[in-house]
Each structure stands twice: as structure tokens, then as C-alpha cells.
Amino acid sequence: MNNSDETTVHEGKTFTNINYAEKRLENREFINCEFVNCDFSRSDLSHNDFMNCDFKQCNFSLTIVTGTGFKDATFTGCKVLGIDFSKCNKFLFSFTFEQSHLDYSTFYGTKLRKTKFTDCSLKETDFEETDLTSAIFHNCDLSGATFVRSILEKADFRTAKNFSLDPAVNKVKQAKFSALNLSGLLYQHNLDIDYHGS
């Protein structure tokens, strides 16, 4: 009798200082769990589900997340570098990111409506064809982040910095911007913007 396909469910547990680096996790479901200072770098988390889980000071550099479900996952102070979120389970896909580094990750074609990014580094992050309706980029660095055919309606960029997006190829209706960061909307026109009125 082969029980290898049975899912192991972990509920309400805290995992601290676990090293999953370069390991493969199989047939796991985590519900209301907390992960503190865990290393998932280069690990394979494919087809596991994380529901209402909190990740604190964890390393997710180059983690494989094919078919992985993240529902109401909160990442705080984490390294989430170079992850292809477009391969995650589309039906379990909701996040909050705080004080985390998401550089070089891709959210191509995903739905991130109402997602909050707070104090995050999103350098070179790919948001092409991403639905970011009502998303909030609070005090985030978007250097080199790609927005093409993205839905940015009602998204809040007022405290975001270093972003560049072309309103002609993105939906930006009712998106919020600060007068101080409007240059990010005009970069493609190669204008010389004077902030001092001199």
C-alpha cells in the first residue's frame, strides 16, 4: 500500500530556524502556520499549499513554486529573490509583503488585486500583464520594475520611488500618484523636469 501521495497537514505550528535549502518538500499543507528565520533558498516547494501563513525573516531566494498555493500569505523581512510567482497555483494566490526584498521576481500575468507592498525592494520585478487593481506600493523601490499591459487602476504609487511606467500601455485609471513622483509617468518622453522652478 503506497501512502506517498497522502497530504500531510500542519496546522497552527511555528517553524523556527529550519533549513530547507535545496530540499524538496512534498505533499504538505500548512494552515495558520508561522515560519521564522527559515531558509528555503533554492528549495522546491512545488504543489504544496500555505494558507494564512506568516513568513518572518525567511530566505526564499530562487525557490521553485510551481503549482504552489499561497493564500493570505504574509512575508515580513524576507528575501524573496528571483521567484517566478507566475507558476503558482492561481486559485490560492494572495499576499501581503512588508520590509521584504522581491528583486528579480516575476508576477507575469497574475492577479494581485489589493495586494499591499510596504517598505519593499522591487528592483527589476516583472509586473507585465499583472492585475494590480487597488494595490498599494507604500515606500517601495521600483527601480527597473516592468509594467506593460498591466492593470494599475486605483493602485497607490504616492510614496513609491524610482518607478517608470507608460500610461499609454497600462491601465492607470484612478491610480494615485504624488506630484513629486510624476516623472515616473513621463520618462518615455525624455523630458527635462525642473523641481525647483528656477
- Asked if pLDDT for residue 113 goes beyond 90, the answer is yes
Please tell me the predicted confidence (pLDDT) of residue 184: 75
Q: What gap in Å lies between CA 100 and CA 75, rounded to an integer?
A: 7
Q: What gap in Å lies between CA 141 and CA 132, rounded to an integer?
A: 16
Are 94 and 146 in a shared domain? no
User: What is the tens place of the pLDDT at every residue in 66-77?
Assistant: 999 999 999 999
Q: 179: Cβ–Cβ under 8 A, 6 or more apart, which residues?
A: none
Are 48 and 115 in a shared domain? no
Are 119 and 187 in a shared domain? yes
Mapped onto helix, strand or coil, the DSSP state of residue 11 is strand
Domain boundary among 69, 99, 129: 99
Range of the domain at 166: 106-191
